[in-house]
Amino acid sequence: MALNTNFNVDPYYDDFNDDKNFHRILYKPGYAVQSRELTQSQTILQDQIKKFGDHIFKSGSIVTGGQIFVQNTSYLNLTSTFSGNDINASNFDQEYITNTSGTKKAYVLKAYAADAVAGEPITLIVNPMYGGNFTTSETIVTANTQANATNYYANTASSNAFGNSKSFSINSGVFYYEGFFVKNQPQSVAISKYDSANSSGLVGFQITEDLVTYTQDTSLLDPAQSASNFQAPGADRYKITLTLTTRPTNSVDLSQFIQLSEFQDGIQKSVIQTPIYGRLGDELARRTFDESGDYIVRSFDIAMSDNSANTAYANVTLSPGKAYVKGYEFNTISDNNCCR
């Protein structure tokens, strides 16, 4: 894990070096204030926060919130146009939708744009609320009840319009990553868009770094006399975004990725729901081991059965369990299988 943005470039020139042990910038009357000095004032504080944070948390740890939900959902495929206009999938993301008669309603957890390479149409991952599944070639509309809000229309596909999927959702929370405490927004992602039984892969946050200027966000303009002053654009902003996504189980590049869970053949094999402590966790583990040694909280039961494919082997299943080894928690949430 590592953040990639380099601030020691034009126009920021942040050449902070912790080996110099500069802990304060002392501004003086009669001396011009350098923009570099203002930037380094933040960097000095950030460096102190990171040194303390690294003692408490491991990078990628949850800090607060971030409750996780795994649920069986449905997919809904849409046509690419409605009344001659292209459909924008984002207009349906995290919206309620109904049919035109209002007899069916669902909530869109995630809206996916069409993928020409994979041959996938616009797909909505939905939680049906009432009225059953939408049918083929049915008109849907966003059920936006806010005043003056725009309602968006679309048609479901003429074939293969709906089916089963599996989704992963997370509430808002705060995660510690490389010295920063970053807030995530409530999000959902399809573990498998079109299959709830055989979904496999890693689920987690993709870390994105951005430099935001006033041209991208006009709220950065100086608010002079109750209006944005375009003659005073103001400073840029450094932004870290956590985007919920999936990756194949065999992914080799997990840089700038916080893994939250792993699925194999539709079964959740691991999940991170509690903080992962850094040096503090090592100290707690040392004390736990000194007091209690190694012990089992929930037993790992072994079951054996015949292997129908090869009678020379047997299937071995280890049930979920929980134990403390050298003071560290080891917890499994599903069966582990192998054959011998």
DSSP tag of 294: S
Q: What is the pLDDT of residues 54-87, one digit of tens each?
A: 999 999 999 999 999 999 999 999 999 999 999 9
Same domain membership, residue 15 and residue 64? no
Q: What is the pLDDT of residue 108?
A: 96
Same domain membership, residue 321 and residue 226? no
Domain range enclosing 64: 59-273
Return the SS3 of 219.
helix
Q: pLDDT: is 82 or 310 the higher one?
A: 82
Q: What is the pLDDT of residue 232?
A: 75
Going from the C-alpha of 48 to that of each of 23, 57, 299, 338, the distances in angstroms are 9, 14, 43, 47
Same domain membership, residue 47 and residue 1? yes
Q: What is the pLDDT of residue 234?
A: 83
Same domain membership, residue 288 and residue 232? no
306 pLDDT band (50/70/90 cuts)?
confident
Same domain membership, residue 195 and residue 109? yes
Same domain membership, residue 291 and residue 268? no
The residue type found at 214 is Y
Distance CA 320, CA 237 (A): 46
Determine the average pLDDT of the residues in 90-104: 93
Q: What phi and psi values does residue 286 have, to the nearest 5 degrees?
A: -60, -45
Report the interhelical angle of 279-292 vs 35-56 (nearest 10°).
10
Distance CA 233, CA 24 (A): 28
Q: pLDDT: is 260 or 149 the higher one?
A: 260
Q: What is the pLDDT of residue 225?
A: 66
Distance CA 40, CA 7 (A): 10
Out of 257, 273, 289, a domain closes at 273
Residue 53's nearest CA partner among 239, 180, 184, 207 is 180
Rounded (to 5) percent helix, strand, coil in the chain: 15, 45, 45
Same domain membership, residue 260 and residue 142? yes
Q: Which two tokens stand for residue 258?
A: 């916080």
* Domain total in the chain: 3
Residue 157's nearest CA partner among 137, 173, 133 is 137
Q: What is the pLDDT of residue 146?
A: 60
**pLDDT at residue 52 above 90?**
yes
CB 187 within 8 A of CB 175: no
pTM of the model: 0.88
Same domain membership, residue 228 and residue 185? yes
Q: What is the pLDDT of residue 223?
A: 78
Q: What is the pLDDT of residues 16-44, one digit of tens each?
A: 999 999 999 999 999 999 999 999 999 99
Q: What is the pLDDT of residue 74?
A: 94
Out of 219, 244, 273, a domain closes at 273
Distance CA 239, CA 255 (A): 18
Which of 54-58, 142-146, 323-327 is predicted with the least confidence, judged by mean pLDDT? Answer: 142-146
Q: Which two tokens stand for residue 126?
A: 């939905």
Q: What is the pLDDT of residues 145-190, one digit of tens each?
A: 665 578 899 999 999 999 999 999 999 999 999 999 999 999 999 9
284 pLDDT band (50/70/90 cuts)?
very high
Out of 230, 247, 273, a domain closes at 273
Distance CA 219, CA 229 (A): 10
Same domain membership, residue 314 and residue 261? no
